[in-house]
């Protein structure tokens, strides 16, 4: 019999910034099936650290939608908005390692300096505000270009006053390749410095960035596998690096293809016809789950089903690797 500690601990971590849409439900279903088909647990985390966009009524509605669909979570939901003191502690541990520095660049500055590197509009940070004196734990730090002004306030022991404008806090990364095996897309190799760049762990408004909060929450919650859309594939090496610095074991990452419209655009909360408000008016929960099971390659035809019905059918090698068009 499989030991309980060997069973996977999965999670679903939506942001309550609007009603869930079909793509969110697809993510919830695949992560639920991945964990539950192997006798594991499935946690719910409400990622509401963006207080300007997150609303509690959206969170309560998405929980109702999950229950209506038959996607029951284990234990109590975790709310990121209640965990700022925890993120503060781990942020201070990174600061103590000397690899955090303030960045005053705007997005317009970054776009002016470099075209987006990835299809999602990601820009590799060019190191404009990177100080010369910070050290990357366990790695040699390349010297900053002499043509790039270094904000002296960012350098420990500097005498200049701290600029009054707000600063984001970036984590310095080494020129190092992070390799991992994705559970669906196989072997991945990402050079942190060249493909990612130093990334933000605390926003200019003082809020916590995704890349720090998600690592801390997954580790402290005992999450062993992270199932999410392939658009977040490049986040995995960033999170593995943060986990390494904080002494956490990395999770097993499994990414899946996105649901896209006929123009190849990823489904979003702007697609009102595919949000849960419209879907619940037109279809039963079993209809929606059955349709998603067919899109995931688990059934030859769309037919009504519950998540539990799909447990004996679920295998990752049945799920497509190319994005899936939803008409």
pLDDT digits (tens, 9 = 90+) for 251-300: 999 999 999 988 888 877 666 668 999 999 999 999 999 999 999 999 99
Coil, strand, or helix at residue 226? strand
How far is residue 210's CA from residue 145's CA, in Å, rounded to a whole number? Answer: 29
pLDDT tens, position by position, 93-149: 999 999 999 999 987 777 676 544 444 567 899 999 999 766 666 554 333 332 223
Phi and psi angles of residue 172, each rounded to the nearest 5 degrees, phi first: -75, 135
**187 in Cβ contact with 181 (< 8 Å):** yes
The pLDDT value given to residue 133 = 67
How far is residue 55's CA from residue 62's CA, in Å, rounded to a whole number? Answer: 11
pLDDT tens, position by position, 153-205: 333 333 344 456 899 999 999 999 999 999 999 999 999 999 999 999 999 99
Least confident of 9-13, 28-32, 40-44, 120-124: 120-124
The pLDDT value given to residue 3 = 35
Task: Assess whether pLDDT exceeds 70 at residue 2.
Answer: no
Task: State the average pLDDT over residues 28-56.
Answer: 96
pLDDT tens, position by position, 44-67: 999 999 988 999 999 999 999 999
Task: State the average pLDDT over residues 70-96.
Answer: 97
Coil, strand, or helix at residue 286? helix
How far is residue 90's CA from residue 312's CA, in Å, rounded to a whole number? Answer: 40
The CA distances from residue 109 to 129, 203, 229, in Å, are 12, 16, 29
Task: Assess whether pLDDT exceeds 90 at residue 224.
Answer: yes
Helix (H) or strand (E) holding 113: helix 107-113
The pLDDT value given to residue 287 = 98
């Amino acid at each position: 019999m499989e030991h309980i500690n060997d069973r996977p601990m999965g999670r679903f971590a939506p942001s309550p910034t609007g009603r869930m849409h079909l793509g969110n439900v697809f993510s919830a279903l695949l992560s639920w099936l991945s964990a539950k088909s192997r006798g594991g647990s499935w946690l719910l985390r409400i990622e509401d650290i963006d207080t300007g966009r997150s609303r509690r009524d959206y969170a309560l509605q998405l929980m109702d939608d999950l229950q209506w669909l038959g996607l029951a979570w284990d234990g109590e939901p975790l709310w990121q908005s209640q965990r700022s003191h925890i993120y503060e502690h781990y942020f201070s541990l990174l600061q103590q390692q000397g690899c955090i520095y303030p960045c005053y660049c705007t997005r317009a500055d970054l776009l002016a300096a470099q075209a987006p590197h990835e299809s999602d509009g990601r820009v590799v940070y060019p190191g404009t505000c990177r100080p010369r004196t910070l050290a990357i734990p366990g790695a040699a730090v390349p010297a900053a270009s002499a043509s790039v002004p270094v904000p002296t306030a960012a350098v420990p022991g500097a005498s200049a006053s701290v600029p009054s404008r707000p600063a984001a806090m970036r984590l310095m990364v080494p020129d190092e390749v992070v390799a991992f095996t994705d559970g669906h897309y196989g072997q991945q190799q990402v050079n942190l410095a060249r493909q990612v760049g130093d990334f933000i762990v605390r926003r200019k408004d003082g809020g916590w960035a995704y890349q720090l909060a998600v690592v801390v929450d997954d580790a402290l919650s005992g999450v062993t596998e992270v199932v999410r859309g392939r658009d977040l594939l490049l986040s995995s090496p960033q999170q593995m690096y943060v986990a390494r610095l904080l002494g956490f074991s990395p999770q097993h990452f499994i990414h899946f293809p996105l649901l896209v419209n006929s123009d190849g655009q990823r489904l979003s909360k702007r697609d009102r016809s595919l949000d849960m408000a419209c879907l619940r008016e037109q279809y039963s929960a079993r209809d929606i789950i059955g349709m998603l099971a067919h899109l995931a390659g688990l059934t030859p035809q769309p037919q009504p089903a519950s998540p539990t019905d799909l447990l004996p059918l679920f295998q990752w090698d049945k799920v497509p690797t190319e994005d899936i068009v939803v008409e």
